Amino acid sequence: MVNAYPEKPAIPYMRTTVEMPEVIHYLKALNVPAEIKRGAYIIFRNEGANGRSGINHNYIGVQADSGRWPAALEHHIVGVVTKRENQTGKLRLFCAFRSWQPSVDFLVDRVQKRGFYIGGTTTKIVTMKVNTPEDLATAYYRSWVKGDAKYKLTESNFSSIKSMYNQASKIFL
């Protein structure tokens, strides 16, 4: 486990929460297309358990031991937190944010740049055009969640993302 941000302070783990209506209000105010807001909403909800499970305001699973993030995003990172990863149980280094808003800003940038929205094209781990909620689920799970271009999604994976996409379509017009 190599810390990509040794210049950032080590911060003790703190579970943080945010109410989803606040996140929705913030996303609505951003000057980005609705499809990007929808993609960010879905990933935020899935990664951060609907705002109930942040790691020092990191609701999107941004890790500090997977390499450095683009320089334009580094100002959002205020420290590094050591915590066991939920899915694997492995000790990992996570990026800490000052508050939940920079976590959303970071996520919106990644959704836009990595094509995690209807109309986008993903290029990391798997290259694919995202035309449907099912495509979005496939791109998200393969590129963001599992890091495996051959990961076989379950019906639950698809239905969960499709449900959130339908909700997001009503929220972000």
Nearest to 157 by CA among 144, 168, 169, 170: 144
Which tens digit of pLDDT belongs to each residue from 113-157? 999 999 999 988 899 999 999 999 999 999 999 989 999 999 999
Query: What is this structure's pTM?
Result: 0.94
- Both 120 and 60 in one domain: the answer is no
- Both 80 and 156 in one domain: the answer is no
**Residue 109 maps to a domain:** no
d(CA 88, CA 167): 29
Nearest to 83 by CA among 101, 56, 45, 106: 56
Nearest to 44 by CA among 60, 58, 25: 60
Q: How many domains does the chain divide into? A: 2
Q: What is the DSSP string of 52-109?
A: T-EETTB-S--BSSS-PPPGGGGGGEEEEEEEE-TTT--EEEEEEESSHHHHHHHHHH
**Residue 105 maps to a domain:** no
Question: Could you tell me the residue range of the domain that residue 142 belongs to?
Answer: 115-168
Which tens digit of pLDDT belongs to each residue from 86-111? 778 899 999 999 999 999 999 999 99
Which tens digit of pLDDT belongs to each residue from 64-82? 999 999 999 999 999 999 9
d(CA 115, CA 52): 26
- Both 65 and 24 in one domain: the answer is yes
- Both 10 and 65 in one domain: the answer is yes
- Both 89 and 124 in one domain: the answer is no
